[in-house]
Copies of this chain bind each other. A is one copy, B any other.
Amino acid sequence: MSDMTRHIHSAFDRDLEGIQAQIMKMGGLVETAIRDAARSLETRDEELAEQVRAGDKAIDALEDSLNDEAARVIALRGPQASDLRVVLSVMRMSANLERIGDLSKNMAKRTSVLTQFPPVNGSAKSLRRMAREVERMLKDALDAYIQRDAELARDVIDRDGEIDQMYNTLFRELLTFMLEDPRSITACMHLHFIAKNIERMGDHITSIAEQVVFVVSGEHPDKPRTKADRTSFDPAYSLDTDGE
């Protein structure tokens, strides 16, 4: 390796460290957004919800800055093969993080609508449990990225099935509540939205974990990314309410 190559290489490494520090910062903000959004829903804390909504701007700004920085590094350093893969994966990961931030913001927005209704049978608690799982998955996915740990990343991908399972159970529960008490319909519709949002966070985290596998192995992990949202085809969810 010539001195010149060594020089270029270490400059790239320095750039990459900066980018990775930004991704971790962004990930930390998103973890907090998930946690606070779920907590504001359970404790009916509108102030905390407002904080989550306002905090999303910082997440969006980090995405823009990460993308600009990644483009700058590509143009300036012309990274090849696995280095290029790392930089490109950062752009995708930041897009996923930004989406999770949006979903947290949407969840927080519904807190102020839901406080207008009586709580629905512990649903907020179930949602918070689901959110906690998702938050753990995100933490592990980011750890897997920093440690280039494909095994941990694959574990995260597997755990998305549990989130889907939690969602399916909640969907069924909400349908039952609505049938039992039509006055709960509007609140249940909002709760259902939130459940679906958390389930989608799981999908984005899975996609981050897939990027980790891609960065480490150079290969896209096995799809099928077939969704386990069974509400779309499992007859159990049809509930036959009109005797069909």
Contacts and interface: CB of A to CB of B under 8 A. Distances in A.
B95 A185 contact: no
B179 A182 contact: yes
Q: How large is the interface on A (under 10, 10 to 19, 20 to 34, 35 or more residues)?
A: 35 or more
Interface stretch (A21-29, A31-39, A109-117, A144-152): A109-117
Interface string A112-124: 1100111000000
B186 A233 contact: no
A244 interface: yes
A30 B71 CA distance: 28
Interface string A148-181: 0000000000000000000000010001001100
Contacts of A113: 231-233, 235, 237-238
A128 interface: no
A74 B84 contact: yes
A71 B84 contact: yes
A239 B185 CA distance: 10
